[in-house]
Amino acid sequence: MILQALCGYYDRFAEANSSEIAPPGYELNSVSCCIVLDKEGNVCDVIDMIDEFEVTGSKGKKEKKRQPRKMITPQQPKRSGSRPEAAFLCENASFIFGVYKDRAGAEYRFKASRDIHEKVLAGLEDEGAQAVLAFYNNRKQGTYLYEGVDTSYFEDGGNIVFLLDGESDFIHNRPEIQAAWNRHLAQRSTEASIGQCLVTGEVLPIARIHGNLGGFGQDKPTVVGFNQDSFVSYRKEKGDNAPISENAAFKYVTALNMLISDRNHCMHMHGDKLLFWAEREAPVEEQAILGLMEGGTSQPDKLLDEVRNREIASILDSLYKGKSPEELGLDPHVRFYLLGLSSNKTRVVVRYFYVNTFGQLVTRLQLHHQDIHIAGPTWEPEHPSINKILIETAVLHKSENVPAPHRSALVRCILSGGLYPNSLYMAMLGRIRAEAAANAKTAINRTRIGVIKGYLNRLSRKSNNKEEAITVGLNKEDKTISYLLGQMFALLEKAQSDALGNVNASVVDKYLNAALASPQQVFPSLLSNAEKHFSKSKKYNIKMRIREIMQDIPSNGYPKTLNAEDQGRFLVGYYHQQQDIYTKKDKLDSKKDDETSKDSDQNHEEGI
């Protein structure tokens, strides 16, 4: 099913004659420089193919970035071992010039490169082919081209292509040379075993080795691979154990690499990759899915005009507010595929694969954002992305510390509408407890509390106990004792702040973990110590509010301990009460500023 969907994605672009996708025998490669040859094979020039552009860095500063140019070139072979196969007309300097760390390796690579070009181009009268053959015949292995050439072009391991002097297109794009390359590929196919393809059902040459995937750092994993003798079965070796035709193997690998390299179809999630695509052309629907998964934090697509970007932003805003795709003129029936991948050195691990309609996906994503939505300050994301949620589980907020199971488990629960992973919930509680002593304000943040709220609400929904559902903001009708204790904790913190101002260690910094573990031991002493602070809290009558809460505490007093779910409710209650306090403070300050401004204007007019 996965490979069939990927082959279908490739066919969709191929049928449209899209320049974005490589035909069989070719692939999209990064090219660092171009060698310009005259008709006698002499080097005329070296052209830098690395593009430089500005990007906005993590701190908002403009930074210059250099990136090799992408172009479709003849497909490079899969290489391993000490005697790798050379590529045709798109290769690095170790093969084209024989510049390598040791003499034996350099001689082997240069000879391998010369041999493949002589084999493919032999007998051609094309001027580009003749120039390349002359270049190899004129070369003295191990030396650079001529004095004055910048060797940095060749030492970074980047790919090199050829251009005939006076021409505008590269030698690998010349029709006669492409025809020769295709004949060479066809000859190799006749040497392959014949079998029934598992993807198409057709009887075709079977791919012995499948292509590598890019985008996984130094790893170049494959989806299908058999590189141990233990995989040999009934004398079938390599790809014969899972017979997929060369044509289908090329299509799915090309489609995967195209999706991975496209930021509009690939989300990078701390080591995993989430690929998604529609069964037909649906750019607005695809942008909507991306925006909902990224929490509306994705940057405008530079390939789209300003009007289209504004349209997509408006659609996302409407979807967050609960509108249906039909109301926005979108097709709810277009089928979407979502594929989660991670690398295990030489293999790709498929984490999940979902197929659903656009309408169903939107419904699940809307439910997710609704469940984790919580009132909070404007500087924190209202709709956190999947990546933002995951990074909140990591020690020191480092990407490499995101637990691997969380990545796929979170996506699965969002796409299925099921319970959030208990491990994710416990990780949020754990990070809050671990970080609160150092800085409670950053530890207890909007994203973490939102996920805790979402977990508890879905758990409550599963138990058909909707009366206990946690609201977006402070709910004075919620009499759950853990929720009330969280509110009281925030009020005690506010009383301390009003009385003493900023202190090195607040009530939350010092007592949060103890309050979560043993409220019966902590709250009586906290209330006793806070009596002298109450009179200083004027804008928010803390003593009265605490008295109201105390009336709802059961007669048997505070609980001895709180279980994991009650600890979450405690934290939500604390956060709700804290936001209510400071929201009212902001409103009072704003009202005071308005009155001051009016008095100033009146005095100014009287002075005139």
Give the whole-angstrom CA distance, residue 111 versus residue 234.
Answer: 37
Range list of H helices, 84-214: 93-96, 103-121, 127-138, 152-155, 175-190
pLDDT digits (tens, 9 = 90+) for 311-362: 888 999 999 999 999 999 999 999 999 999 999 888 899 999 999 999 999 9
Residue 150 falls within a domain, yes or no?
Answer: yes
Average pLDDT estimate for 424-452: 96
Average pLDDT estimate for 16-42: 88
Q: Within its chain, how far is the Cα of 410 from the centroid?
A: 13
Which one, of 467, 466, 486, lies nearest residue 567 by Cα? 486
Based on the domain organization, do 272 and 418 belong to the same domain?
A: yes
Kind and range of the H or E element at 48?
A: strand 43-48
Question: Is 408 within 8 Å of 271 (Cβ atoms)?
Answer: no
Average pLDDT estimate for 507-513: 94
Question: Which residue, chain included where needed, has tokens 């390299």?
Answer: 261
Based on the domain organization, do 322 and 180 belong to the same domain?
A: no
Average pLDDT estimate for 379-391: 94
Based on the domain organization, do 164 and 282 belong to the same domain?
A: no
Residue 296 falls within a domain, yes or no?
Answer: yes
Residue 128 falls within a domain, yes or no?
Answer: yes
Question: Is 224 within 8 Å of 244 (Cβ atoms)?
Answer: yes
Question: Which residue, chain included where needed, has tokens 């500063």?
Answer: 61
Based on the domain organization, do 280 and 173 belong to the same domain?
A: no
pLDDT confidence of residue 608? 31
Residue 304 falls within a domain, yes or no?
Answer: yes
pTM value surpassing 0.85? no
Based on the domain organization, do 143 and 288 belong to the same domain?
A: no
Q: Which long-range contacts (CB under 8 A, 24 or more apart) does 554-558 make?
A: 554/481, 557/520, 558/481, 558/485, 558/519, 558/520, 558/523, 558/524
Residue 599 falls within a domain, yes or no?
Answer: no
**Which one of 139, 165, 191 terminates a domain?**
191
Average pLDDT estimate for 593-597: 46
With H, G, I as helix, E, B as strand and everything else as coil, classify residue 162: strand
pLDDT confidence of residue 103? 82
Q: What is the DSSP letter of 229?
A: G
pLDDT digits (tens, 9 = 90+) for 208-226: 889 889 888 777 889 988 8
Q: Output the average pLDDT for the chain.
A: 87
**Which one of 382, 407, 434 terminates a domain?**
434
Give the whole-angstrom CA distance, residue 48 versus residue 33.
Answer: 5
Residue 495 falls within a domain, yes or no?
Answer: no
The total number of structural domains that make up the chain: 2
With H, G, I as helix, E, B as strand and everything else as coil, classify residue 66: strand
Out of 230-234, 304-308, 382-386, 467-471, pick the least confident: 304-308
Based on the domain organization, do 277 and 155 belong to the same domain?
A: no
pLDDT confidence of residue 302? 52
Based on the domain organization, do 271 and 371 belong to the same domain?
A: yes
Question: Which phi and psi angles does 543 have, rounded to 5°?
Answer: -60, -40
Radius of gyration of the chain (CA): 32
Which one, of 383, 373, 377, 375, lies nearest residue 586 by Cα? 377
pLDDT confidence of residue 228? 73
Based on the domain organization, do 156 and 281 belong to the same domain?
A: no
Kindly provide the residue ranges of all beta strands, DSSP E only, lying in 212-358, ordered along the sequence.
266-269, 272-278, 335-344, 347-357
DSSP 504-527: SS-HHHHHHHHHHH-HHHHHHHHH
Question: Is 406 within 8 Å of 390 (Cβ atoms)?
Answer: yes
Based on the domain organization, do 129 and 276 belong to the same domain?
A: no
Q: Which long-range contacts (CB under 8 A, 24 or more apart) does 356-361 make?
A: 356/415, 357/332, 357/333, 358/278, 358/282, 358/285, 358/288, 358/289, 358/325, 358/330, 358/331, 358/332, 358/333, 358/334, 359/324, 359/325, 359/326, 359/332, 359/333, 360/332, 361/289, 361/336, 361/415
Query: Domain residues for 364?
Result: 266-434
Q: How many CB atoms lie within 10 A of CB 206?
A: 25
Average pLDDT estimate for 486-499: 92
Residue 577 falls within a domain, yes or no?
Answer: no
User: pLDDT above 90 covers what percent of the chain?
Assistant: 59
Query: Does residue 590 carry a pLDDT above 80?
Result: no
* 242 or 125, greater pLDDT: 125
Q: Which long-range contacts (CB under 8 A, 24 or more apart) does 420-425 make?
A: 420/451, 420/454, 420/455, 420/458, 422/455, 424/389, 424/393, 424/451, 424/455, 425/451, 425/452, 425/455, 425/564, 425/568
Q: What distance, in Å, lies between the first and last C-alpha atoms of the chain?
A: 80
Question: Which residue, chain included where needed, has tokens 């779910």?
Answer: 565
pLDDT confidence of residue 145? 43
Residue 488 falls within a domain, yes or no?
Answer: no
Based on the domain organization, do 403 and 280 belong to the same domain?
A: yes
pLDDT digits (tens, 9 = 90+) for 134-153: 999 887 644 544 344 455 66
Question: Is 315 within 8 Å of 330 (Cβ atoms)?
Answer: yes
**Which one of 434, 466, 500 terminates a domain?**
434
What band does 79 get if pLDDT is binned at 50, 70 and 90? confident
Based on the domain organization, do 341 and 426 belong to the same domain?
A: yes
Q: What is the DSSP letter of 245?
A: B
Based on the domain organization, do 286 and 371 belong to the same domain?
A: yes
